[in-house]
Structure 1
Amino acid sequence: MSKEVSEEGQTHRKDYADPPPAPILDVGELKLWSFYRALIAEFVATLLFLYVSVATVIGHKKNADACEGVGLLGIAWAFGGMIFILVYCTAGISGGHINPAVTFGLFLARKVSLFRAVGYMVAQCLGAICGVGFVKAFMRPYYNSLGGGANTVMPGYNKGTALGAEIIGTFVLVYTVFSATDPKRSARDSHVPVLAPLPIGFAVFMVHLATIPITGTGINPARSFGAAVIYNNEKAWDDQWIFWVGPFVGALAAAAYHQYILRAGAIKALGSFRSNPSN
């Protein structure tokens, strides 16, 4: 067990160990099958996520007039439930990111290398395109006429409001990812194997309830990009920047908050600076 110094200056043993920071450039992992297996897992998981969630959106709109659709609650459950399932399935292989914003936040926190982060984002975007492509292939009579599941700023809201909603929504998601996968929590709750995927899925569910009326809920650049590529609508492309800038800013804020405030990274760095004999 490692040791930890409390704010009172007392030393006590920790029942967990923080993993070492991932190297920014890790050329060695490019030679490992586990790296490419993780890319495949991210691709397939994002494909399945987009297929089920966007198909739910299209199905809801198709039956909305007959009051037979799943409703906004059902859409939120589809997104949150699929994230719960897929994170549970892929966490041991790739970490279960399924979202470039999550990958970006974990990269900033030195949880993954630059090569892995870029590879994941590419795999996620390609998987999203394929997933929405399957929706269009299977639901072609309704896909284009019902919006293609694309994210846009909804009528009555401006782009500033939409950007703020995406930032806060992604903050909630990435903050939950950090909290659910914190080594301290993982060590003490290791007897509950679904603990991490469950709050992450619920975070996605809750954010969708809040932001579907504003942006259709992005909080995942791959989800928004895949739908925009297949739908290929001018409005979807005009608003696309919101669904990249918002999630990345939200992920940055969540990573900084968790690492430097909650895990006291800033205080530890300052303490190390003060204790350096050369200063």
Structure 2
Amino acid sequence: MEGKEEDVRVGASKFSERQPIGTSAQDKDYKEPPPAPLFEPGELKSWSFYRAGIAEFMATFLFLYITLLTVMGVVKANSKCTTVGIQGIAWAFGGMIFALVYCTAGISGGHINPAVTFGLFLARKLSLTRAIFYMIMQCLGAICGAGVVKGFQKGLYESNGGGANVVQPGYTKGDALGAEIVGTFVLVYTVFSATDAKRNARDSHVPLLAPLPIGFAVFLVHLATIPITGTSINPARSFGAAVIYNKHHAWKDHVSVLYDLKIRNFDIHPI
């Protein structure tokens, strides 16, 4: 019996790197990285900086291309029973985020969303230089992705809303704004949690594939808010679709604050 107790004691010492889930797991060493500088001009001379921007462009391009084609396939059907429906649209958005974050995380961080980029900038995870560059490339990618979809089937695209985000009948602009704020918070909160290096160091025994919870969060938010706004939670997604669709009502809800200020009295109208 004494020999068995000794074996247990030696085994516990031998495998001391195993940490239980809970507060004792916080004893692992972790060094917080320094905040990113506000301006980092040296980045402009680095190829990795431009490679990351290209990755963001391509990821947002593919994101809009696949998701808007899915939306078009649903809205053109006479019977929703013959299509993937709202659940399929939500899976398309969530699945593409999962795949694209997985592909680009090692190159650019896999933002694919100006809201995510802005949140990480506020947390000092990247410089203002890189944040602005990412946002520009994301918006350009979204415009190109929506443009390719329109090029495939222009008539269908224009007659079925072009995948643009608008407030749906039965909801107010306040409802839509609230839904988008909460949905965007869920996404950004999930991104911060899934990519938290301190958590990974503390709970390294718990395997976590960061793109999975991020994509699943996008899926769940779309299930909840597609009936309200069509779901954006991504300014580049809304901007790209609105630019290519380019109809008055597609812009009206985006600039509703300007309308409330009666900008129309000065004969200023969205495109």
TM-score over 0.5 (shorter chain):
yes
Q: How many residues align?
A: 232
Could you tell me which of 79, 83, 91 is aligned with 2:97? 83
How big is the alpha-carbon RMSD for the aligned residues of Structure 1 and Structure 2?
A: 1.8
In 1, the alpha carbon distance for the partners of 2:82 and 2:68 equals 17
Listed as ranges, the gaps of 5+ residues in structure 1 are: 1-11, 243-279
Could you tell me how far 1:15 is from its partner in structure 2?
A: 3.0
State the distance in 2 between where 1:189 and 1:177 align: 17
2:118 matches 1:70: no
One-letter code aligned to 1:204: V
- One-letter identity of the residue aligned with 1:203: A
Q: Distance in 2 between matches of 1:124 and 1:155?
A: 30
Q: Structure 1 residues 66 and 105, CA, compared in 2 at 3 Å: closer, same or farther?
A: closer
Q: Equivalents in 2 of 1:87, 1:140: separation in Å?
A: 30
Structure 1 position 50 matched with structure 2 position 60: no
| Corresponding residue of 1:16 | 30
- Aligned-partner SS, 2:175: helix
CA distance in 1, matches of 2:208, 2:156: 36
2:53 match: 39
Query: Which whole-Å deviations, capped at 9, do the CAs of 1:81-126 have from their partners, x for residues lacking one?
Result: 0000000000000000000000000000000100100000000000
- Corresponding residue number in structure 1 for 2:189: 175
Q: Gaps spanning 5+ residues in structure 2: where?
A: 1-25, 257-271
> What's the counterpart of residue 257 of structure 1?
none
TM-score (norm 2): 0.82
CA contact (8 A) 2:74 2:80 kept: no
AA at the equivalent of 2:192: F
- Which residue of 205, 212, 219 maps to 2:233? 219
Map of 1:254 onto structure 2 = none
* 1:233 to partner: Cα distance: 1.0
Q: How does 1:109-148 map to 2 (within 5 A)?
A: 109-148=123-162
User: 2:28 and 2:203 mapped to 1: Cα distance?
Assistant: 15
> Partner residue of 2:252?
238
CA distance in 2 between partners of 1:209 and 1:69 (Å): 16
Instruction: Judge conservation of contact 1:62–1:69 (CA < 8 Å) in 2.
Output: no
Q: Which position in structure 2 is the counterpart of 1:162?
A: 176
**In the aligned structure 1, how far is the partner of 2:181 from the partner of 2:240?**
20
Note if contact 1:17-1:183 (Cα within 8 Å) is conserved in structure 2: no
Counterpart CA distance in 2 for 1:168 and 1:241 is: 19
- Distance in 2 (alpha carbons) for counterparts of 1:130 and 1:18: 38
Equivalent residue letter for 1:140 = K
Q: Give the direction of change, closer, same or farther, for the CA distance of 1:46–1:216 in structure 2 (3 Å limit).
A: same
Question: TM-score, with normalisation over the residues of structure 1?
Answer: 0.79
Inter-CA distance 111–208: structure 2 relative to 1 (3 Å threshold): same
